[in-house]
Amino acid sequence: MKLKTDKSKKLWNYSLKHLAGGVNSPVRAFNAVGGTPLFIKEAKGSRLKDVDGNSYVDYVTSWGVMILGHADPDIQKAITGAIGKGTSYGAPTEAEAVLAEMIKKALPSIQKLRFVSSGTEAVMSAIRLARGYTGRDKIVKFTGCYHGHADSLLVKAGSGAATFGSPSSPGVPAAFARNTVSLEYNDIEGFRAYMKRSGKEVACVIVEPVAANMGLMLPEPGFLAALRKTCTATGALLIFDEVITGFRVGFGGAQGLYGIKPDLTTLGKIIGGGLPVGAYGGGKKIMKHLSPAGKVYQAGTLSGNPLAMAAGCAAIKKLSKPGVYKQLEASGQAMEKGLRLIIREGNLPLTLNRVGSLFTLFFSKGPLKDWTGAAGCDTKRYADYFWAMAERGVYLPPSQFETCFISTAHKPADIEATLKAAEQALLL
């Protein structure tokens, strides 16, 4: 079935006249898969509908935000209840403290936190706090892990055990990048070797505990524990970037799933119930250095926005109910079982990585555990697969190096229809 795209094409040409690159976030431009971006008109539950009337089972779910599905009635009720009272005050509200308490109960490593307006803002603030707390300048990240577009994190890694970054984006001063070291995700020995040489100069080590921005890469056994032990030994702070994994891989995030306690945690996406939000937090000893109690400065006019707080409280309340994550795991298992069967039947050179309700089908033989492996994928074949699935009513991320997300709104019939489409797209 060929997609109807006339209205999307018209809107794309209109957007190109008025928006930089036609979009407000690069992956939406479909550069990685070609063709015209599909303009979405509305969404409900597990489905999207575009302006041309095409309907899709959605596995982008606003990049993992919509864990309860689109237009969840309880979240909508919370937002409409809050909006009648005003949209922003620039002053404290009760909902900020309520949501903070709910998050703390789910993630015990957080004793105090601070709300901001995006995941990028949460990460850049957490790193500033780590530097202020330790009095050190260098940070360690891992190749393929994305932590937002703050200058010090837009660093291109090269070969070798450690690469002192050159900026991967024009506009990032080389001086910023020189204090960022990029290591290979899941390379325990490479990490230990670098920290043995230079660990006393490192303010923090930041990692996606489950890497979900090079496609989905799971931590190898012992990797996260090695980060924790080495950071403790060298005095560097361990930051878990749980903007994606927080309340996604489990109610307690990746730190709960793997039993590792970070010093600082960054959050976003799900904790705002679909509205812009971010947060960072950790132990009282560290967080007391943050202004106004301490000297590390950070502020934001819309931080703790009352609409986002209301939506977040509604979302976390629903996620805390028994059976939610059991359902998500069952859906993930069904998807994994079906895709692996298709791979075996077709003897296809594909790799599937999954944890809970996140999964990526890589167009490369595995196993895949890092960016080096991901970079070898056949992106042209993925692009063909993307459009073949769209034509069959399934909306996937428009890039091989992104992750698919299942929501509680995805029913067994959605999974079955998706697997039928995948079988046709991959085997016919």
Residue 80 CB burial class (10 angstroms; 0-12, 13-18, ≥19) = exposed
**Strand, helix or coil for residue 237:** strand
Torsion of CA 136, 178, 168, 120, to 10 degrees: 10
Residue 344 CB burial class (10 angstroms; 0-12, 13-18, ≥19) = exposed
Q: Which of 273, 237, 240 lies closest to 257, judged by CA?
A: 240
Count the Cβ atoms, other than its own, within 10 Å of residue 384: 15
Q: Is the peptide bond before 367 cis (omega within 30 degrees of 0)?
A: yes
Compute the distance between CA of residue 316 and CA of residue 102 in angstroms, rounded to an integer.
7
List 59, 146, 194, 258, catalytic entry: 146
Q: Which of 109, 110, 84, 88 lies closest to 99, judged by CA?
A: 110
Say which amino acid occupies 396. Answer: L
Cβ-contact 216, 354 below 8 angstroms: yes
Q: Which long-range contacts (CB under 8 A, 24 or more apart) does 26-29 make?
A: 27/397, 27/398, 27/399, 27/402, 28/398
152-168 b/e (C-beta count within 10 Å ≥ 16 → b): bbbbebeeeebbebebe
Respond yes or no: is residue 241 known to be catalytic: yes
User: Can you name the residues that pair with 202 across neighbouring β-strands?
Assistant: 138
Respond yes or no: is residue 14 known to be catalytic: no
List 141, 269, 385, 414, catalytic entry: 269
Say which amino acid occupies 79. Answer: I
Cβ-contact 210, 145 below 8 angstroms: no
Q: Which of 227, 15, 33, 39 lies closest to 142, judged by CA?
A: 227
Respond yes or no: is residue 146 known to be catalytic: yes
**Strand, helix or coil for residue 277:** coil
Pairing relation of β-strands 166-167 and 163-164? Answer: unpaired
Q: Which of 102, 110, 84, 126 lies closest to 278, judged by CA?
A: 126
List 58, 72, 241, 263, catalytic entry: 241
**Residues annotated as catalytic (active site), given as ranges:** 146, 241, 269
